[in-house]
Structure 1
Amino acid sequence: MLRIHFTSEDLARVTLGYNSSLPVSEAVMSLQALRRGSGPRFSAWRHAVGKQLPARASLLGSLVPAAGWAPDFLTPGPDHASPTTGAFDAIRATPQRRLTTELRRLSHDRRLPAWAQLLADGDRETLDAVTDTLAAYYDIAVTPFLDRMRAVLDADRTWRVHTMARFGVGAVLAGLHPQMRWEEPVLELPGPPGQGQIDFHLEGRGLLLSAHIFCGSRPRALLNDVGTPVLVYAPAWNPQTGNLVAEPPDTRPRSSTALATLLGRTRAAVLEALASPAGHSTKQLAESLAISPATASEHVTALRDAGLVTSLRQANTVRHTTTNLGTNLISTATGTGGIQLP
């Protein structure tokens, strides 16, 4: 069991992570999921990725076990987490002392190949080869699925923000995993079988909560003596976005009969598709309904002008979702009672 101790200053510094470009740690965790073959949710993804692994993927396989701890230098912290914020440059610049320490720790649990000693000694050519392979793997395992992964993470973040605004930080911490327990000022996390109790004091540095698609069933605490501590957890999944590989869409948008009579079949389908807290980008909306982006944009504009849809810019993406009026219209037309938030 891991016990994370908070001060009042730490509680004030609990934040929810967001990266428009997903962090490199997502790729590292996905490699573990690929190796252990976990769950039907990722079966189509594993099939797609497994057919095009980079030529030197064995370099990563030697450093990243199927389960458990992987070297921290492969997963840069919040300031350099993603490719757009310099993650691969940060990996290339890893000091020799850190490489030595982390590879020594890794060697306690598994036998490392001979070339790992070069890496532990700070050989730049070897470090560059590992970094280049990780970058190539990221482009195969994460980049093509970014939109669908982002949709899952955005929906989860919207839910957590709503929970924090309504019930406070403690409710968010307690709701990250069924086995997590919040008794102020301590958060208890389940640990690996056989592991004793570990106490970690945040000491005013706060905690970054970061949802990762490939986190696995157990939350992961990335804790050290420098930088911002990070708690990685699995997001809540919407069954409608439960597969990272998009299935062929229906050729005709679907909507309720009453709503289609009022708005027209396609416009009604657009309105219903946007009835979630996370909403959709124009591109996601077009893909989900098998219509062109121009058609999707036209219908969104008409619905927004009627006060049924609102649009919000997040980083470089504009996301559309229904207003209360739009949600109530769907509820009345379909008899579903609409989306109820506590």
Structure 2
Amino acid sequence: MLRIHMSGVDLSKVRMATRPDALWETILSFHRLRDRRGSTVFGKWRTEARPRLKGEVRLLAALIPPRGYFPDFLTPSQESSEPYGIETGMEVLRNTPPARIRAELALLGAGRREAGRAPDGRAEPLGRFIDALRGYHRAAIEPYWSHIRASIEADRAIRGRALLDGGAEELLASLPPMIRWRAPVLEADYPVDRELSLDGRGLLLQPSYFCRVTPVVYRDPQLPPVLVYPVTHSHAPVFTEPGPWLGRLLGNTRSTVLSVIGNGCTTSELALRAGVSLASASQHACVLREAGLIHTLRHGSSVLHTLTPLGGSLLRGGAPLALS
């Protein structure tokens, strides 16, 4: 069990990350690559990503075990709510002090079979590891980044509504079921017992596509507090490519439905904004979801619809969504 102790000051400093963090997604996806569980969500991704990999798995496995602790320096911390892009994150990783690398590798465990292949803080071994990490990101993450970002945006829409409705406490109460707000403690399912005091530093909430089952926090309590938690995955195909559904999108009503979804709305709000019945709004949303143009998540007794990057691009006349 993880228990995060929060004061009133900490509550006032709870914030949401603005987008997915490239290095968190990269590192956590490496866990999913070697894990046979979660096949409904990650099975197709594994099948597609593995053939594109070369020697990266062997090098990365030296620092990223199949489960449990991995060094904190692999996912650099930042004070702001704006996560690192992949190149900035790699540069911060490259500049990690050698003493910190050695200390965290000692925690990883010298008895592990792969420990001898781990970089020891010297520039050359660390550079090889970073090159492997970059190659892995290009093969396993970059082709799916728009889908990853769409899932995080859908989660942010739900958390944003909770924040507006009831403040930081309602936001914390809205987090996935493995995380429970029992003021003044945020509890979460966790592999070991852990107590974390924020001491007025606040908490960054970082939704993650590849996080699974339990959230993740830094081992070092002195680092800026961040809670990485799994998004709720929809039941739609995970990495859907545009298909024959696009021909069904023709028509003024459905174009209106797509446009009024905007930054997110429930089915009831969609019906009201588009001037259609609730049943019609639900049917239109179903077609748009099958076409990969919207993302739908259930939240309590309602569902929330948000645009995917493809849907947003279509509304902008084909202009791509800026990704980082």
Q: Same fold (TM over 0.5)?
A: yes
Residues 96-145 of structure 1: CA deviation (Å, up to 9, x unaligned): 111111111111673334232xx22x221000000111011111111111
Residue 90 of structure 1, aligned match among 89, 92, 103: 92
Aligned residue in 1 for 2:275: 329
One-letter code aligned to 1:269: R
Q: For the structure 1 residues 278 and 61, does the alpha-carbon distance in structure 2 shift closer, same or farther, using more than 3 Å as the test?
A: farther
Query: Is contact 2:23–2:86 with CA below 8 Å preserved after alignment?
Result: no
Shift in Å, 1:202: 0.3
Q: For the structure 1 residues 84 and 252, does the alpha-carbon distance in structure 2 shift closer, same or farther, using more than 3 Å as the test?
A: closer
Aligned residue in 2 for 1:43: 43
Shift in Å, 1:180: 2.5
Residues 145-194 of structure 1: CA deviation (Å, up to 9, x unaligned): 111111111011011000111022222223323232222111111221xx
Aligned residue in 1 for 2:252: 267
Does residue 188 of the first structure (1) align with residue 187 of the second (2)? yes
Residue 229 of structure 1, aligned match among 225, 228, 231: 225
Aligned residue in 2 for 1:301: none
- Whole-angstrom CA distance in 2 between matches of 1:177 and 1:229: 19
Shift in Å, 1:57: 2.7
Q: For the structure 1 residues 335 and 32, does the alpha-carbon distance in structure 2 shift closer, same or farther, using more than 3 Å as the test?
A: closer
- Whole-angstrom CA distance in 1 between matches of 2:182 and 2:278: 42
Task: Answer 1 or 2: higher relative contact order, Cα 8 Å, separation at least 6.
Answer: 2
Q: For the structure 1 residues 9 and 108, does the alpha-carbon distance in structure 2 shift closer, same or farther, using more than 3 Å as the test?
A: farther
Q: For the structure 1 residues 174 and 64, does the alpha-carbon distance in structure 2 shift closer, same or farther, using more than 3 Å as the test?
A: same
Root-mean-square deviation over aligned CA pairs? 3.0
- Whole-angstrom CA distance in 1 between matches of 2:86 and 2:116: 33
Q: Secondary structure at the match of 1:178?
A: coil
- Structure 2 counterparts to residues 139-218 of structure 1, below 5 A: 139-192=138-191, 195=192, 197-218=193-214
Query: Is contact 2:72–2:220 with CA below 8 Å preserved after alignment?
Result: no
Residues 36-65 of structure 1: CA deviation (Å, up to 9, x unaligned): 123121111111110111433311022111
Query: Is contact 2:2–2:194 with CA below 8 Å preserved after alignment?
Result: yes
- Whole-angstrom CA distance in 2 between matches of 1:335 and 1:24: 38
Q: For the structure 1 residues 109 and 157, does the alpha-carbon distance in structure 2 shift closer, same or farther, using more than 3 Å as the test?
A: farther
Q: Which moved more, 1:160-169 or 1:270-279?
A: 270-279
One-letter code aligned to 1:272: V
Query: Rg larger in 1 or in 2?
Result: 1
Instruction: Please report the TM-score for the alignment, with normalisation by the length of structure 2.
Output: 0.77
Q: For the structure 1 residues 66 and 275, does the alpha-carbon distance in structure 2 shift closer, same or farther, using more than 3 Å as the test?
A: farther
Does residue 59 of the first structure (1) align with residue 81 of the second (2)? no
Query: Is contact 2:271–2:277 with CA below 8 Å preserved after alignment?
Result: no
Aligned residue in 2 for 1:25: 24
One-letter code aligned to 2:141: V
Q: Secondary structure at the match of 2:247?
A: coil
- Whole-angstrom CA distance in 1 between matches of 2:159 and 2:153: 10
Query: Is contact 1:26–1:212 with CA below 8 Å preserved after alignment?
Result: yes
Q: Secondary structure at the match of 2:114?
A: coil
- Structure 2 counterparts to residues 88-167 of structure 1, below 5 A: 88-107=90-109, 110-116=112-118, 119-120=119-120, 122-167=121-166
- Whole-angstrom CA distance in 1 between matches of 2:68 and 2:174: 23
Query: Is contact 1:5–1:202 with CA below 8 Å preserved after alignment?
Result: yes
Gaps of 5+ in 2: 286-300, 305-324
Aligned residue in 2 for 1:78: 78
- Whole-angstrom CA distance in 1 between matches of 2:255 and 2:190: 44
How many residues were matched structurally?
284
Q: For the structure 1 residues 201 and 277, does the alpha-carbon distance in structure 2 shift closer, same or farther, using more than 3 Å as the test?
A: farther
Shift in Å, 1:73: 1.3
Query: Is contact 1:223–1:230 with CA below 8 Å preserved after alignment?
Result: no
- Whole-angstrom CA distance in 1 between matches of 2:302 and 2:117: 56
- Whole-angstrom CA distance in 2 between matches of 1:45 and 1:341: 26
Instruction: Please report the TM-score for the alignment, with normalisation by the length of structure 1.
Output: 0.74
Query: Is contact 1:207–1:229 with CA below 8 Å preserved after alignment?
Result: yes
- Whole-angstrom CA distance in 2 between matches of 1:164 and 1:158: 10
Query: Is contact 2:201–2:224 with CA below 8 Å preserved after alignment?
Result: yes
Q: For the structure 1 residues 125 and 158, does the alpha-carbon distance in structure 2 shift closer, same or farther, using more than 3 Å as the test?
A: same
Aligned residue in 2 for 1:291: none
- Whole-angstrom CA distance in 2 between matches of 1:210 and 1:90: 19
Query: Is contact 1:59–1:130 with CA below 8 Å preserved after alignment?
Result: yes
One-letter code aligned to 1:270: S
Report the identity percentage.
30
Query: Is contact 2:72–2:219 with CA below 8 Å preserved after alignment?
Result: no
Residue 243 of structure 2, aligned match among 232, 238, 249: 249
